[in-house]
């Protein structure tokens, strides 16, 4: 039987015979083997081989070459190295060499497979191509040639990957991949256009335009060329918000992910562990990955999640419980990530109980008891939910399946060494371990018990230290145990920091969750450029980790094991002052960013606030505890519309009410906070509290000269009075509001026009109502105030139904529902589908109307949207109107059919309805 030989050319060259690594000594033999492996199964002539390996050919080159080949045979390659008069051949199939497998896979791309399968394949190929080829063999002529070829293939693959991710609606993956591609290839047009499209579909329109403009400027400066007409056309489409360009795609064959990070390094080893997890996923509903600190529990959980397609999951959510300091806050943390309408188990069940969801609960150690209770309740009340937990200990629940993740030692020692070698190459600019370092690297990997985090910490120091110095300094070989091995590695790494770096590490370890250099610099009161330099140094030393948010933005965090160590170094005398600056910075940050929630930047701002949730909660608690009314009001007011858009109505209301109880002078944030409180109270069905809050908003707005708040408060009060029959007072209040339009901001003008349209509709003045609502929509759409866009169009659709123009109503409501879904406002989308259902009665499609009502009620359970609560008597009248057009019993049957529909089914129903000026609908 022929022996099995495998060769890896990516990273440090490695040869395995029957699965065991061969010890190859000398760079020249390794180079010879690398060149032969690239032509696996084919003869390489002696002249080709000499030219590939020697830039300066020695006189006795042929005998030297034969000697090196002989050494390779003696090292274990034996008969696999075939020599003849004409040259040499490595007698292995092309599939046995990772580089030739890569080349063949790229060449065989037919594009025939499904998009999800193509995405997975492209991710695998890009991950492979991202590694340096033949690390440590830079001096050999053929290596640079091969690297250049792979680099070009990588560029094309990354562009294909970004494009495929866009087709599947995964803007976060596309943005992350294409951002790196543009940085490496700034003069290539295709990745720039794809990146700009991805940014636009993430509602980062200004960033998209800046990307195109920067490319055009660079192309002119470097090459003297103007950007192509395609770049100009794309820019124009983004500026005018062409839906064909800026509207996110909601494809049915991609998993919707929230909080699941995009890995920035290649996943190494763990094949058996990953196989066990894959098998368990098909059988078990609760899996807990258990292992010591630093062993890689989070990474393998992310790897398993991101390889899944819709064959397994519709949605995935990852909750980092390291940010949770109070066990009572566990349920709230889960609810916030899954976008539940309230911070309760009931709300979580309503939100994800009807879909195939994977919920990853990461870093559960310190809240294990509270989490066990929550997990037990969630599994008991759902059927399709699967939960994956990472922890140092199991939950100890009856149906829990435990997967123990062990360090990369013993039988997995080769994986540990591969991880160490690859991270060392990253730290040393691509230079891997040479022959003289191999033994020391293997010993250090074993002495650190193969704990991945400890290996990364050790590898990070190889940028300036030799491996023997690292072994000596880290205290390896003491036999102190795995926990102490990691602690020794962290302590040694921290000890090597200078005073500035150590002080920065201790400070950033105080953050409750992920942070940004901007936040660090702002709180510390130091230069942001210098802050970034110090943080980048800490990232390079693996003491600070990098992840990316849903918009592809870079965030940082301190891992729990490092945070525990840093806490022991903290100076308690400086903590209080830092907490105060932390509170003040976040209050200012939120107050400044809050208004962008009413612009095209809303989705991006929500993602930023999502990333800061833990520290925003900490800042709010600090403000209340210290009696800082100014900071508390800024936080509460700035976050109120975020709470509304995220469906966290009770959380937003409670935050404002807490701020209002603090004694102290009025803040400029108070009028806005009161106005937002009115909206939250009304949406929660507490109209009396809403009227009280509106009055408070008007009063404080006048005192502080905020015409925008006063105008909106008057308009809302006027509409409310009209709804309760006091038309004269309602008219007077709205006229007062309209008198302030010239000095009010656009968002306020759009709200006043919308309230005017609502009042006019109540009075039966349909033409005037349509004019006011059209103006409200125009103003809101021009600034990106998505909530008002959907609100104005919603009322507009109902006016069109009242005016017996149902086909126009269906078109307006259907397109607005698409807008709402694209902007993550599912409750608004449901309200608009409800309006479409009302129009069905007037186009003789009563059965479709009944089905849509059933779908709205069923899907609405996930978002706490109730037509009865939102529409009151009007919902009852609509239901009766639809039922009246159907035979007895038919309404109930169609309504039950509707309760089985999902969003895609609803879209297809609406698309088949008669519309004036129809266009494709995706809700």
Residue 168 is predicted with a pLDDT of 80
Please state whether beta strands 401-404 and 286-290 pair in parallel, antiparallel, or not at all (unpaired): parallel
Alpha helices in 141-270 (DSSP H): 141-167, 171-184, 189-201, 205-223, 229-239, 243-246
Which residues, in sequence order, are bridge partners of residue 5? 17
DSSP assignment letter at 411? G
DSSP assignment string, 662-683? S-SPPPTTHHHHHHHHHHHHHH
Buried b (16+ CB within 10 A) or exposed e, 260-293: bbbbeeebbbbeebeebbeebbeebbbbbbbbbb
**CA–CA distance from 376 to each of 286, 383, 397 (Å)?**
9, 12, 7
State the architecture of 499-570 in CATH terms. Answer: Orthogonal Bundle (1.10)
Helix (H) or strand (E) run with residue 610 in it: helix 602-611
Upper half-sphere CA count for residue 461 (Cβ side, 13 Å): 25
Each residue of 409-446: b (16+ CB within 10 Å) or e? beebebbbbbbbbbbbbbbbebbbbbeebbeebbebbb
List the CATH code of the domain at 109-246.
1.25.40.10
> Would you state the structure tokens that stand for residue 372, as one six-digit string?
């066990």
Q: Among 422, 388, 418, 421, which residue's Cα sits nearest to residue 405?
A: 388
Nearest CA to 616 out of 630, 632, 629, 601 is that of 632
Q: So what's the pLDDT on residue 850?
A: 94
Exposure of 697 in the CB half-sphere (CA atoms within 13 A): 27
**Class of the domain covering 583-769:** mainly alpha
CATH of 5-101, one of 3.40.50.1820, 1.10.10.10, 2.102.10.10, 3.40.50.2300: 1.10.10.10
- Decide if 817 contacts 833 (C-beta within 8 A): yes
Question: Which of 540, 570, 333 lies closest to 424 in space, CA to CA?
Answer: 540
Matching CATH topology for 109-246 and 256-404?
no
Q: Is 297 helix (H, G, I), strand (E, B) or coil?
A: helix
What backbone phi and psi angles, to 5 degrees, belong to 515?
A: -140, 175
Q: Residue 535: its pLDDT value, please?
A: 92
Per DSSP, what are the bridge partners of residue 728? Answer: none
In this structure, are residues 63 and 3 in contact, taking their beta carbons and an 8 Å threshold?
A: no
pLDDT at 711: 95
Q: What is the predicted pLDDT for the residue at 648? A: 82
- Both tokens of 668, joined, read 């400029």
The whole-angstrom distance between residue 338's C-alpha and the CA centroid of its chain comes to: 13
Q: How far apart are CA 434 and CA 357, in angstroms?
A: 47
φ, ψ (nearest 5 deg) of residue 5: -125, 135
What's the rounded Cα separation, in Å, for the pair 69 and 87?
11
- Rounded to an integer, what distance in angstroms lies between the CA atom of residue 572 and that of residue 831? 52
What's the burial of 615, exposed, middle or buried (CB within 10 Å: 0-12/13-18/19+)?
buried
Longest CA span, the chain: 107
Q: What pLDDT score does 489 carry?
A: 83
pLDDT at 637: 93
Residue 922 has a pLDDT of 39
Q: Which secondary structure element, helix H or strand E, spans residue 44, and what is its range? A: strand 44-45
C-alpha span between 893 and 826 (Å, rounded): 26
The CATH number that domain 256-404 falls under is: 3.40.50.300
d(CA 678, CA 681): 5
pLDDT means per 10 residues, the chain with 923 residues, are 80 85 87 93 92 89 89 88 86 92 82 71 82 88 92 90 84 81 90 91 82 91 89 88 72 73 76 82 89 88 84 87 87 89 88 89 91 94 93 91 87 82 77 77 82 83 79 59 68 88 93 92 91 90 75 76 87 89 96 87 84 93 94 94 85 93 89 90 83 92 92 90 80 93 93 92 90 92 83 92 93 87 80 93 93 91 76 85 91 92 86 70 39
pLDDT at 753: 95
Does residue 820 contact residue 829 with C-beta atoms inside 8 Å? yes
pLDDT of residue 917: 54
The DSSP line for 641-655 is HHHHHTT-HHHHHHH
pLDDT of the residue at 113: 66
Q: Where are the domains of the chain?
A: 5-101, 109-246, 256-404, 410-495, 499-570, 583-769, 804-911
| C-beta separation of 26 from 33 below 8 A | no
For residues 389, 391, 397, 401, the Cα torsion angle rounded to the nearest 10 degrees is: 60
Question: What is the C-alpha to C-alpha distance for residues 750 and 788, in angstroms, rounded to an integer?
Answer: 7
């Amino acid at each position: 039987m022929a022996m099995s030989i495998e060769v890896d050319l990516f990273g440090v060259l490695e040869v395995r015979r029957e699965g065991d690594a061969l010890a190859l000594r000398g760079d020249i033999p390794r180079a010879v083997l690398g060149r032969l492996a690239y032509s696996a199964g084919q003869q390489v002539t002696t002249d080709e081989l000499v030219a590939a390996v020697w830039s300066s050919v020695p006189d006795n080159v042929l005998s030297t070459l034969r000697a090196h080949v002989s050494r390779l045979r003696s090292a274990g390659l034996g008969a696999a190295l075939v020599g003849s008069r004409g040259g040499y051949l490595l007698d292995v199939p092309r599939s046995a060499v990772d580089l030739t497998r890569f080349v063949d896979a790229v060449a065989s791309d037919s594009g025939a497979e499904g998009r999800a399968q193509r995405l997975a394949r492209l991710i695998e190929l890009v991950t492979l191509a991202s590694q340096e080829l033949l690390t440590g063999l830079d001096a050999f002529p053929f290596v640079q040639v091969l690297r250049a070829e792979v680099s070009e293939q990588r560029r094309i693959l990354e562009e294909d990957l970004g494009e495929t991710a866009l087709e599947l609606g995964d803007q976060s993956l596309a943005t992350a991949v294409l951002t790196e591609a543009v940085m490496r290839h700034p003069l290539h047009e295709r990745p720039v256009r794809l990146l700009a499209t991805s940014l636009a579909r993430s509602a980062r329109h200004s960033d998209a335009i800046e990307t195109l403009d920067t490319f055009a400027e660079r192309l002119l400066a470097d090459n003297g060329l103007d950007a192509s007409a395609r770049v100009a056309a794309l820019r124009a489409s983004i500026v005018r918000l062409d839906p064909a360009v800026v509207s996110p795609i909601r494809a049915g064959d991609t998993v919707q992910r929230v909080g699941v990070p995009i890995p920035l390094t290649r996943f190494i080893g763990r094949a058996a562990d990953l196989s066990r997890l894959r098998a368990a996923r098909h059988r078990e509903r609760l899996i807990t990955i258990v292992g010591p600190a630093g062993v890689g529990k989070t990474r393998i959980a992310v790897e398993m999640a991101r390889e899944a397609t819709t064959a397994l999951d519709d949605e995935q959510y990852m909750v980092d419980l390291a940010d949770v300091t109070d066990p009572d806050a566990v349920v709230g943390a889960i609810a916030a990530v899954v976008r539940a309408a309230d911070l309760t188990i009931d709300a979580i069940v309503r939100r994800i109980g009807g879909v195939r969801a994977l919920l990853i609960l990461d870093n559960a150690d310190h809240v294990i008891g509270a989490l066990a209770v929550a997990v037990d309740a969630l599994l008991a009340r759902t059927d399709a939910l699967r939960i994956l937990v990472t922890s140092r200990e199991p939950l100890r629940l009856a149906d829990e399946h435990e997967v123990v993740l062990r360090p990369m030692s013993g039988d997995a020692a080769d994986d540990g060494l591969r991880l160490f070698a690859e991270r060392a190459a990253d730290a040393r600019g691509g230079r891997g371990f040479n022959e003289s370092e191999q033994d020391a690297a293997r010993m250090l990997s074993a002495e650190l018990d193969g704990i991945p985090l400890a290996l990364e910490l050790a590898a990070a120091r190889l940028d300036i230290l030799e491996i023997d110095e690292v072994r000596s300094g880290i205290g390896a070989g003491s036999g102190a145990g795995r926990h102490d091995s990691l602690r020794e590695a962290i302590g040694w790494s921290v000890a090597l920091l200078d005073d500035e770096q150590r002080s920065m590490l201790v400070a950033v370890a105080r953050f409750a969750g992920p942070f940004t250099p901007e936040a660090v610099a702002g709180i510390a009161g130091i230069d942001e450029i210098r802050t970034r330099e110090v943080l980048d140094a800490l990232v390079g030393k693996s003491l600070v980790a990098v992840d990316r948010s849903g918009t592809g933005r870079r965030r940082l965090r301190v891992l729990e094991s490092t945070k525990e160590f840093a806490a022991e170094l903290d100076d308690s005398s400086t903590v209080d002052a830092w907490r105060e600056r932390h509170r003040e910075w976040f209050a200012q940050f939120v107050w400044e960013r809050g208004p962008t929630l009413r612009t095209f930047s809303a989705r991006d701002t929500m993602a930023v606030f999502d990333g800061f949730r833990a520290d925003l909660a900490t800042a709010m608690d600090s403000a209340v505890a210290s009696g800082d009314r100014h900071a508390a009001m800024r936080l509460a007011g700035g976050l109120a519309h975020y709470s509304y858009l995220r469906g966290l109505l009770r959380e937003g209301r409670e935050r404002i009410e807490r701020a209002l109880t603090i004694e102290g002078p009025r803040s400029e944030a108070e009028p806005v906070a009161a106005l937002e409180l009115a909206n939250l109270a009304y949406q929660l069905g507490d109209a009396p509290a809403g009227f009280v809050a509106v009055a408070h908003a008007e009063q404080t707005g006048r005192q502080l000269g905020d015409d925008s708040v006063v105008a909106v408060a008057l308009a809302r009060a006027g509409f409310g009075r009209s709804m309760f029959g006091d038309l004269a007072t309602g008219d007077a209040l709205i006229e007062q509001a309209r008198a302030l339009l010239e000095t009010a901001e656009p968002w306020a003008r759009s709200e006043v026009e919308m309230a005017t349209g609502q009042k006019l509709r109540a009075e039966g003045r349909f033409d005037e109502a349509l004019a006011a609502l059209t103006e409200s929509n125009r103003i809101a759409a021009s600034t990106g105030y998505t909530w008002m866009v959907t609100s104005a169009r919603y009322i507009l659709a109902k006016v069109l139904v009242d005016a017996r123009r149902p086909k126009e109503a269906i078109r307006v409501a259907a397109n607005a529902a698409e807008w709402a879904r694209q902007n993550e406002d599912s409750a608004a989308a449901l309200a608009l589908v409800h309006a479409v259902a009302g129009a069905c009665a007037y186009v003789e499609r009563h059965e479709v109307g009944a089905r849509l009502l059933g779908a709205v009620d069923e899907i609405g359970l996930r978002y706490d949207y109730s037509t009865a609560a939102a529409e009151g008597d009007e919902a009852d009248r609509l239901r009766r109107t639809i039922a009246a057009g159907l035979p007895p019993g038919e309404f109930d049957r169609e309504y039950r059919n509707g309760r089985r529909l999902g969003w895609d089914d609803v879209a297809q129903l609406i698309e088949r309805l008669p519309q004036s000026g129809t266009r494709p609908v995706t809700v």
